[in-house]
A = this chain, B = another copy of it.
């Protein structure tokens, strides 16, 4: 590879939460590739850059274009929202490259939706958790359903990405029933939309009420608490442990 290819995580969507390493990688690049929605958040950082942008469904094409330019000698930053390694483009880019070119690709982590949304909700991820995407584009529904069941059975706090897509709501519809087999209907569930962006929406409902939340869309992140997670106003808190807790459950 004559040039340079860096996969950059831009974080949850506001520059205040993008790392200096990410900003520098974009500033140093001559070409910036990415999904339009993520590029729009970068504003002035893109001035004077050559831009490779297209729609969400054209990811492979975009990665190939970025690879092609890097091979020709360009310094290319391929941006990915959140963390590029969590359902992001880091895997696709590396998979598209022959082994001998993979080591030259640099990957810059970002703050992923799970922790970005958790911070807005309080502290739901303080104990073991599972991250599951409800998108069945590349994964059989049976496996997604099985993972939901195992996460519920193991009392994992559970983060759901891509909860609903076009012509897709079946798995989301089944989710409350799957978790209600193992958790109380009072279990807090955090619903976060457009985190750190305009029209940010953060609320906590109960697992029993989740089926009524009809506004959940592809950009929503859901966090289902474990059996110890409790609600406090519009926040949810998961204790650090079970039983053997060293901290008094009652406030000091």
Contacts and interface: CB of A to CB of B under 8 A. Distances in A.
Interface string A93-130: 01111110011000111111001101110111111111
Given A90-B122, A240-B92, A153 B155 contact: no
Among A60, A95, A110, the most chain B Cβ lie within 10 Å of the Cβ of: A95
Interface string A193-221: 00000000000000000000000000000
Contact of A111 (B19, B102, B252): B19
A235 B103 contact: yes
Interface string A70-92: 00000000000001111110111
Task: State how many copies of this chain the complex holds.
Answer: 2
A139 B83 CA distance: 29
A132 interface: yes
Interface in A119-158: 119-120, 122-133, 137-140, 143-144, 146-147, 150-151, 153-156
A146 B128 CA distance: 12
Contact of A249 (B95, B144, B146, B153): B95
Contact of A109 (B24, B86, B91, B118): B118
Given A9-B115, A16-B20, A130-B131, 19 more contacts: A15-B20, A17-B21, A64-B252, A67-B252, A86-B118, A86-B125, A87-B127, A90-B119, A90-B122, A95-B237, A102-B237, A103-B234, A109-B118, A128-B131, A140-B244, A143-B155, A150-B151, A150-B153, A151-B154
